[in-house]
Amino acid sequence: MLFLVLAALDPPELLTLASAVLGVVGLLGAAAAVLRAANVKTSLELLRGEVGDLTASRARLEGENKQLKEESARQQQQITMLQEMVTSRAAVDQLIGALKSLERTVLLAVGRSQG
């Protein structure tokens, strides 16, 4: 049916119709390009937002990591102090043992000298 309509047109009318069709196709192509550009722009904005979120998350994680390292250092200092206290306690226990042994020796010597 379209062919019959086109066959009934004279050349200037066909040229006008062809120009109109090409114009519409051009407009549709331009509209599609604008839509693609808008989609690209929207995608870029989303990516920028995601990059911003990732940057903020990284900064937060770096802060937490720093705090954890500081806490770990404090705990290591506490462990070292406790180890030193245990060593000191062992030294005190040894000294107490030596003093008790000396006391027994002195008491035995005094007992022998009196008896």
Q: What is the distance between the alpha carbons of residues 93 and 99, in angstroms, rounded to a whole number?
A: 10
Q: What is the distance between the alpha carbons of residues 16 and 14, in angstroms, rounded to a whole number?
A: 5
For residue 2, the model assigns a pLDDT of 62
* Tokens found for residue 3: 């062919």
Residue pLDDT, tens place only, 27-79? 888 888 888 888 889 999 999 999 999 999 999 999 999 999 999 999 999 99
Residue ranges per structural domain of the chain: 16-114
If we measure between CA atoms, which residue out of 52, 56, 59, 54 comes closest to residue 67?
59
Q: What is the distance between the alpha carbons of residues 59 and 108, in angstroms, rounded to a whole number?
A: 73
For residue 33, the model assigns a pLDDT of 87
Percent of the chain with pLDDT over 90: 41
Residue pLDDT, tens place only, 92-114? 889 999 999 999 888 888 888 77
Instruction: Give the global pTM.
Output: 0.49
Q: Give Cβ neighbours of residue 17 (< 8 Å, ≥ 6 apart).
A: 6, 9
For residue 99, the model assigns a pLDDT of 92
